[in-house]
Structure 1
Amino acid sequence: MTGYFIQAFIYLAAAVIAVPLAKRLGLGSVLGYLVAGVVIGPITGLVGQEATTIQHFAEFGVVMMLFLVGMELDPKALWAMRVRLVGLGGLQVVLTAAAGTAVAWWLGLQWQTALTVGLIFALSSTAIVLQTLNEKGLGKTEGGRSAFSVLLFQDIAVIPMLALIPLLALPELMAGSGTDAGHDTGLSLVAHLPAWAHALVVIGAVAVVIVGGFYLSRPMFRYVVQSGLREVFTATALMLVIGIAALMSLVSLSPALGAFLAGVVLANSEFRHELEANIEPFKGLLLGLFFITVGAGINFEVLAAEWGTIVSLGVAVIVVKALILLVLALLFGIHGSNGWLFTLGLAQAGEFGFVLLNYSVQNSVIPVETSQILSLVVALSMFLTPVLFIVYDRVVLPRYRRSKNDEREADSIDDRAPVIVAGIGRFGQIVCRLLRANNIPIVVLDHEIEQIENVRRINIKSFFGDASRPELLETAGIEEARLLVVAIDDRDRTVRIVEHVKKFYPGVWVLARAFDRGHSYRLRRAGADDVVSETYHSALEMGGHALTAMGVHPLRAKQMTWAFVENENAHEDELFEAWQEIEEGISFSPRYGELFMKLEEALSSAMQKDWDEPKKEDVPIWTPPEAH
């Protein structure tokens, strides 16, 4: 028992140390888990052979993930994505399997083994890709939706792959093993059934999942909810997913596919959100454990002996899959950065590759020595996937954003005004409308073509161009302007614009939009004359409404918000000076914390002051809201 505790502590400690560090460095949680596994496995030897066993258990995280993904969809959504699900996903699997088979056959493998290798590398990592897309908020993009369609088709395709592999058994490997290649010591409802009976049992199992989801799950959950015990609901949710996975395994179907189907059936259930809340922590923990075991399972002895072959094959897998995916992206109209997201996101092998490799060895299709090398190739490609997403974030995406706007030259600015507004998004539009309503001339600059075209429809004269370029500000007449309003939605560019203008045109009053307190301090240090946090006043207004909703008189609520502003302004200089002592405003210094607590105490005192009751003739009739 002590050994289990120690092993559990090692895995958890590795995750706790590596993952936050990887996130802080911008590498993503998946790469953090993989690195943690490498450190505790091959490098330090803190974990050993049990990593493979734990990996089989942790694969259940993929099952839970697809269950949750299914609950985000419904049959109508699946029907709507049928073209990309079948067309895009089907072509990807067929073309990649064909390319993998051709390369493997060219390298000297028998055609049965080569075909199996092609099928293995046709799959991508559902766990890594969906986890990363969700972390980066890319799941709803065109590239993200297309990647999900392909991943879903791949998970479905695992079923016929598992059925095909035993038919490809090599006689020489069967003779060498001395056993029946296809023998399975696990439980199965279809192991020795004829084909027609096998099909009927499979159809029956799927029907049980669908019918049970529609008609039996709701009464069961209502019964459990009536107990009032949250832990029982959690147990019920786990029982449901585990039961479906077990049923699918008994009929030789993919547990992940069955869980996804159950999720789709429960997508419109009134218990959907509670199910998600209960399963999400288990899913995240198991997926993290799965990624750690992938890193820990790397065999450095084989890697050292065959590193050239493994690295070459790993790079070849990514390059070949990327080329095929890029062609499919163009064929299906997935353009620009979405096409690259689709291409780079799916250019790896997947966790089901380990499953198919083990299954192929058991069924005498792939030799053990070859499977060890291929396992490392799968692991290497998965290990490089977070790096591909980093390339997308830091290389591809910025270039496409620039190229999208660089296709058009900056407008010739034939107008000058005392006010220049940089940025005409939702924030800048309100400023411009207020100035225009008071007949104050303005020159508007923005580097987003869509924004320029939108505001021109409401008769706000605006010019396309990047306000962070000094020559464009000069063309707009910055040396003659009285006021520059910086309302762009890029923190760093905002600071650069303020620094440039205050350095070369100190007489221009600069009013800048800030995202938060730290950004406002950076702008103030850059020389901005006035800084407004974009959510400060709206949050203050809502706070006043919240006080009114709790029975505070509207005028007193207004007085309290004024007191809040006065209290903030009274301590602003002290907080700013303390913030400047902190490197880049990231870490929390003791002095800053003490000052902030001092501000909170002063605020509490200000709220407790006695207020003069307003006279009836000075205020409108107001009735406090009823308490519920």
Structure 2
Amino acid sequence: MTLPIDSAGFSDALVILGAAGIVIPAFARFRINPVIGFILVGIAVGPTGLGRFVPNAPWLFYATISDPHAIEPFAELGIVMLLFSIGLELSFRRLWKMRKAVFGLGAAELVGCAVLLALGFIAFGQGTVTAFGLGVALALSSTALVLPIAGTSGPVGQRAFAMLLFEDLALVPIIFALGALAPHGGSAWPELLRTLLVGGGTIAAMLLLGRIALPRLFAQAARTKSPELFLAVSLLVVILASVATAAAGLSPIVGALIAGLLIAETDYHEEVEGITAPFKGLALGIFLLSVGMSLDLSVVADRWVELLLALTGVVTVKAVITGLLLRVGGARRGVSLETGLLMAAPAETTLIVLGTAAAGGLIGPQTATFWEIVTALGLTITPVLAQVGRALSKRVERRSNEEPLPAVDEGQPRVLIIGFGRVGRLVAQMLDAHKRPYLAIDADADLVAASRERGYHASFGDIVRPGMIERLGVAKASAIVLTMDDPVQVIRLTKLLRAQFPDLTIVARARDPKQAAQLYRAGATDAVPETVESSLQLSEAVLVDLGLAMGPVIASIHDKRAQLRAKIMEMADMSREPPLRRRQLAPDTQG
């Protein structure tokens, strides 16, 4: 049976797909964060936006969401899919290593923020139980927004994930605790104990059955070579795991995370991650639309001063507490500042806790509505807080890392490596192998800190800042290697260095022969195009694998490299040699 064209299902699908396929790319063109874009669209298409004009302009029916509650299951699916994708990126070993951060830092952050917020509510005249309910609800942070912004691999993402994971695990005990504090709610404590026991048994059974059944299940799906069947099996596993934990009284996101962890241990995790990514993105978009639709613009307009003060207070308290805990735990100032601001806004789970507290009579209906709007506003500004935190973190790290650079050894000049990603690290390893001193410079404080921990001679610095060239002692350097993956900046820096140091050896990374020719024109001693080098290495590998002697192969590769370099120099219109004599690199320096 087909639905009529004027049905709510058709119009809602039209709005959602229109937001995902047309509106959000338009926002991206103007560099507006997709998170903010979806929320703004939600505000526009919600009942307090264009929806209020539908009676007078029926054609707007196709540009609005007729029933915001109808899309809530899909919004919840977005959060479930997010936790599932996070599980795919993790492993049980990594999760076990994070246990201290999850149950130490995570517990301290949640309890600290909840207590301080509750004390603030008590100071403003709220009852103790009401203050506790509001404090716990607002202390939660958004898993759905924070993790896509921060990831789970960097220093900020790892700490944020540990705290968010504890909050997700604590959500069910929080709900039961609020139920126990409600009038006539004393029977909630036995129910909480039963849920924890049943939930623990359910998780144990999932771990046991998953390790046995999932590899066989996905192997059978892979044998069919049907992407549709593989996708169906993937979604089935996610939904069954979520339903199992929900039936046991736990949060469905716990089941999704466990499903992701179990699949991550199989050989099919990359295929599952790729095939389910579009569903995660679209479902998260629906969640963000629902956040925007929950904002009542008339209430915001009438009480904007109160709402602004309330949101500022919550964000300040959470940012300060989280930042201080991270500093006490040994995190750098920049990481503490960025993580604190990223975790400062309330969460989607705040709405769940507020609803539970209101249903139990702990919070009045008007109070709950007010803080629900504060929560929606907080979710809206989370990407902005992330950008502000990132900018402040870079400024703080720049100031804290401006210690004197290692002194130059007059007897043995060092090589300067500008940019210390994968290419720069490989250059450093080769210099170390040949006992050549070097100093690596990068503007990414996290990358510099991680490189130092691994034993590299790295220092924080931005080469384009005034005075940095003098601080680095470029005039006394034996050579400078430019490895940045920014063609414009590399060419500009090459021109600057060549103008100041006519006799300096400048070796620059290029993406292709065209950029290499531009670098030669800018004054580079040598420009190494990645596309050419990868082709030469492939040629060397296949010739040796075919049984040819290593010596003649290497000689032919070197000849070919010289021919290609000559052609690139011709492209650069270089009719004569630059100031420095160009030398062919020795065989043992080639990767």
TM score, norm. by length of structure 2: 0.76
Measure the CA separation in 1 of the matches of 2:476 and 2:111: 64
Whole-angstrom CA distance in 2 between matches of 1:342 and 1:522: 43
Matched, 1:407 2:403: yes
Cα distance in 2 for partners of 1:274, 1:426 equals 30
CA distance in 1, matches of 2:68, 2:174: 26
Matched, 1:348 2:345: yes
Query: Partner residue of 2:181?
Result: 168
Aligned-pair CA distance for 1:85? 1.2
Question: CA distance change for structure 1 residues 361 and 523 in 2, over 3 Å: closer, same or farther?
Answer: farther
**Alpha-carbon deviation of 1:18?**
4.7
User: Is 1:5–2:10 an aligned residue pair?
Assistant: yes
CA contact (8 A) 2:350 2:375 kept: yes
Aligned residue number for residue 489 of structure 1? 484
Structure 2 SS opposite 1:532: strand
Q: Distance in 2 between matches of 1:7 and 1:147?
A: 34
Greater Cα radius of gyration, structure 1 or 2 = 1
Contact 2:405-2:459 within 8 A present in 1 as well: no
The question of 1:30 aligning with 2:35 is answered yes
- Cα distance 1:471–1:329, how it changes in 2: closer, same or farther (>3 A)? closer
Q: Where does residue 145 of structure 1 map in the other structure?
A: 158
Quote how far apart the aligned CAs of 1:496 are.
4.5
Q: CA deviation at 1:228?
A: 4.2
Cα distance, 1:472 vs. partner?
6.8
Q: For residue 584 of structure 2, what is the aligned residue in structure 1?
A: none
Distance in 1 between residues matched to 2:460 and 2:250, nearest whole Å? 56
Contact kept? 1:99, 1:118, Cα under 8 Å = yes
- What residue identity is the alignment partner of 1:284? G
CA distance in 2 between partners of 1:164 and 1:475 (Å): 59
5+ residue gaps, structure 1? 172-180, 183-189, 575-628
- The correspondence for 1:377, drawn from 368, 374, 377, is 374
Task: State the shift of 1:471 in Å.
Answer: 6.1
- Alignment correspondent of 1:535: 530
Q: Distance in 2 between matches of 1:371 and 1:519?
A: 62
2:105 aligned to 88, 94, 107, which one? 88
* Preserved contact between residue 523 and residue 531 of structure 1 (Cα < 8 Å): no
Shift in Å, 1:518: 11
Question: Equivalents in 2 of 1:344, 1:368: separation in Å?
Answer: 29
280-289 or 103-112, which moves further after superposition?
Answer: 103-112
Partner of 1:132: 149
Unaligned runs of 5+ in 2: 52-62, 574-591
**Partner-residue secondary structure (3-state), 1:406:** coil
What RMSD in Å do the two structures reach over aligned CA positions? 4.6
Structure 1 window deviating more from structure 2 (337-346 vs 44-53): it is 44-53
Aligned match of 1:392: 389
Deviation, structure 1 residue 21: 5.2
1:325 corresponds to which letter in structure 2?
T
Query: 1: CA distance between counterparts of 2:460 and 2:409?
Result: 9
Structure 2 distance, partners of 1:243, 1:96, is 34
Contact 1:234 1:278 in 2 (8 A): yes
Deviations 1:153-193 (A, max 9, x none): 1001001112122233359xxxxxxxxx99xxxxxxx9999
Return the letter of the residue paired with 2:286: L
| Deviation readout 1:217-257 (Å, 9 max, x if unpaired) | 34444444454433222212212211222233333320011
SS of the equivalent of 1:330 reads helix
Within 5 Å, which residues of 2 pair with 1:285-324?
Answer: 285-324=282-321
Q: In the aligned structure 2, how far is the partner of 1:477 from the partner of 1:76?
A: 44
Letter in 2 for 1:544: S
How far apart are the structure 1 equivalents of 2:192 and 2:390? 49
Q: Is 1:95–1:324's contact at 8 Å kept on the other side of the alignment?
A: yes
User: In 2 relative to 1, CA 208–410 (structure 1 residues): closer, same or farther, beyond 3 Å?
Assistant: closer
Contact 2:498 2:524 in 1 (8 A): no
* C-alpha displacement of 1:468: 4.9
C-alpha spacing 1:523/1:60, structure 2 compared with 1 (3 Å): same
Who is 1:593 aligned against?
none
CA contact (8 A) 1:540 1:561 kept: no
Higher mean Cα deviation, 122-131 or 390-399? 390-399
Cα 1:215/1:376, change in 2 over 3 Å? same
Q: Distance in 1 between matches of 2:459 and 2:178?
A: 62
How many residues align? The count is 540
Mapped partners of 2:516, 2:532: distance in 1: 17
After superposition, the C-alpha distances for 1:398-434 in whole angstroms (9 at most, x for unaligned) are 541x2344122574685798x9856494476589799
CA 413–287 in structure 1, closer or farther in 2 if over 3 Å, else same: same
Q: Check 1:11–1:331 CA distance in 2 against 1; reply closer, same or farther (3 A cut).
A: same
1:588-627 residue pairs with structure 2 within 5 A?
A: none
Counterpart position of 2:84: 67
Helix, strand or coil at the partner of 1:354:
helix
2:133 to 116, 132, 136: 116
The 3-state SS of whatever aligns with 1:312 is helix
Q: Trace 1:423-434 onto structure 2 (pairs within 5 A).
A: 423=418, 425-426=424-425, 429=428
- Corresponding position: 1:498 with 2:494: yes
1:260 deviates by 1.7
Corresponding residue number in structure 2 for 1:614: none
Q: Structure 2 counterpart of 1:101, which letter?
A: A
Q: 1:77 aligns with which of 94, 107, 113?
A: 94
Identical-pair percentage:
25
Identify if the C-alpha distance between structure 1 residues 431 and 207 changes in structure 2 by more than 3 Å, giving closer, same or farther. Answer: closer
Q: Deviations over 1:36-76 (max 9, x none)?
A: 33344455443245234313421212112222323443443
When residues 530 and 352 of structure 1 are mapped into structure 2, their CA distance, relative to the original with a 3 A threshold, is same
1:205 to 198, 202, 207: 202
Report if aligned partners of 1:413, 1:476 keep a CA contact under 8 Å in 2.
no
Cα gap change, 1:68 to 1:421, in 2 (>3 Å): closer
Task: Look up the match of 1:337.
Answer: 334
**Bigger mean CA deviation after superposition, 302-311 or 71-80:** 71-80
Deviation digits for residues 574-620 of structure 1 (CA, Å, limit 9, x no counterpart): 9xxxxxxxxxxxxxxxxxxxxxxxxxxxxxxxxxxxxxxxxxxxxxx
SS of structure 1 residue aligned to 2:527: strand
Give the corresponding residue for 1:580: none
Kindly state the Cα deviation for residue 300 of structure 1 after the two structures are TM-superposed.
0.4
Which of 339, 364, 368 is the aligned partner of 2:365? Answer: 368
Q: Quick one: which amino acid aligns to residue 176 of structure 2?
A: A
Which one-letter code corresponds to 2:394 in the other structure? L
Q: Distance in 2 between matches of 1:110 and 1:399?
A: 40
Q: Point out the more displaced range, 543-552 or 16-25.
A: 543-552
Offset of 1:373 from its aligned partner?
A: 1.6
Q: Deviations over 1:539-565 (max 9, x none)?
A: 222442577599899999969977994
Matching residue of 1:230: 227
Q: Does the CA contact (< 8 Å) of 2:195 and 2:250 recur in 1?
A: no
Tell whether the 8 Å contact from 1:416 to 1:476 is kept in structure 2 after alignment.
Answer: no
The superposition leaves residues 100-121 of structure 1 with CA deviations (integer Å, 9 ceiling, x where unpaired) of: 2222233333333221111111
Give the distance between the partners of 1:463 and 1:199, measured in 2 at CA: 49
Q: 2:25, 2:425 → 1: CA distance? A: 34
The Cα of 1:349 is off from its aligned counterpart by 1.2
Residue 269 of structure 1: which of 252, 266, 270 is its match?
A: 266
Determine the C-alpha separation between the residues in 2 that align with 1:546 and 1:416.
36
Name the residue aligned to 1:14.
19
Residues 374-420 of structure 1: per-residue CA shift (max 9 Å, x gap): 112112212222112212333322541x2344122574685798x98
Q: CA deviation at 1:149?
A: 1.0
Whichever residue aligns with residue 367 of structure 2, its letter is T
Q: Which residue of 1 aligns with 2:324?
A: 327
